[in-house]
Amino acid sequence: MLYRETGQFKSNYAEDMAIFPIRQDGIALGVLLAVAFIGVPLLATLHVWPFGTDYLLWAILLPFLILALAAIGTNILVGYCGQISLGSGAFMAIGAYSAYKLATGVHIPLAWLGIAITIPPLPVLASILLGGLAAAGFGIAFGIPSLRIKGLYLAVATLAAQFFFDWVFLRVPWFTNYAPSGSVNAPELNFFGVIVQTPIQRYLLCLTFVTVIAIMAKNLVRGNLGRQWMAIRDMDIAAELIGIRPLYAKLTAFAVSSFIVGVAGALWAFVYLGSWEPLAFSIDRSLDLLFMVIIGGLGSIMGSFVGAAFVLIVPVMLNLIPAELGVPLSTQTITHLQFIIFGSLICYLLIKEPRGFARLISIGKEKLRLWPFPY
């Protein structure tokens, strides 16, 4: 009954083109943002349920935000531009290691030239953003094959990126500043004099990144560039005949996608993990991101959030619910159950609803607008 658009008239195109043309949606998002930016930190400071411990912030909200960001990046490439990528983990790694190198100072001795390239340590924010740019650069490089190959074959090409960078970061000691264990520690998170340390600060930092990038991504996908991506995805020949250059459309999708994924990778390493090794960005990470995008909804920014939440929450719930019911499951059983649930869900969604939960939600909203009448 509350979800009605009666009486909301649009008198110009700007209103009709708003992200949420229905007022209730806008209000809902406003409330959500207020809760995320003010409510959650407040509750966490006061240690009110469910924030009695830092568990919810550390183990759920923080990874949720960062992975949702990475899922947005993946979704731009896979969902909007239709280029299947299995290399998201690699681009996260590039973002993370580039940011790490830039934040700790780059020193490349070119002995045979008698000179050395030295970049002093950069501030953390600049490192993270430049890490994203580095990922974008490599994204473009690995996107070039997409001009010739499509679908599964492209997936294999991006898989090559995944394995190549796994190997590079494991075997080339320069990237880890010659750390003997291969594991590196994030620099101090100093943002304009504010040192981000507590879980609440980390949460707010990630939330800011995610909000800003999500809005920009949304603007891109509903603008001219987004339409070019979707045109290439839906019918590349027709797209070319109306003047879209496949080269430009595909490579911008790779660049924007890799940038976002790279920033997410840098945040994952710096803010969430703190210290990490290449295993943190393995093929499993790429697959997880792909699952999130498929489950949440291909071609939907909101779907990226839904998918990330789902993929993160299922294991937690599998842990909590049986324990509450008095039949705790072993870790191994939980892992197996997780595979079963994701696997069957992906099969189901790909057959029944390729646009995932986001599509189910929008169908639900359409029904709700007319409720209780069927049409």
Partner 1 sequence: MRAPDTSEILLQVEGVSLAFGGVKALREVSFNIKKGEIRAIIGPNGAGKTSMLNVINGFYHPNHGAITFKGRTRARMQPFEAARGGIARTFQNVALFKGMSALDNIMTGRVLKVRRGVLWQMLRYGPALKEEIEHRHRVEEIIDFLEIEAIRKVPVARLPYGLQKRVELGRALAMEPDLLLLDEPMAGMNLEEKEDMSRFIIDVNNHYGTTIALIEHDMAVVMDLSDRVAVLDHGVKIADGTPDEVKSNQTVIDAYLGVAH
Please report, as ranges, the residues that interact with partner 1 according to CB under 8 A: 12-14, 17, 216, 219-220, 222-225, 227-228, 230-231, 233-235, 237-245, 252, 299
Shortest CB 185 distance to partner 1, Å: 33
CA nearest to 169, candidates 112, 115, 99: 99
Shortest CB 221 distance to partner 1, Å: 10
Shortest CB 309 distance to partner 1, Å: 24
Please confirm whether the linkage preceding 374 is cis (ω < 30° from 0). Answer: no
Residue carrying structure tokens 């649009």: 10
The whole-angstrom separation of Cα 80 and Cα 74 is: 9
Cβ(357)–Cβ(310) below 8 Å = yes
Shortest CB 24 distance to partner 1, Å: 18
| Residue 6: partners with Cβ closer than 8 Å, 6 or more residues away | none
The whole-angstrom separation of Cα 179 and Cα 39 is: 41
Q: For residue 357, give both structure tokens.
A: 């939960």
Nearer Cβ to partner 1, position 246 or 315? 246
The whole-angstrom separation of Cα 315 and Cα 133 is: 33
Shortest CB 313 distance to partner 1, Å: 28
Shortest CB 38 distance to partner 1, Å: 25
Q: For residue 97, give both structure tokens.
A: 């290691």
Nearer Cβ to partner 1, position 239 or 264? 239
Amino acid at 242: I
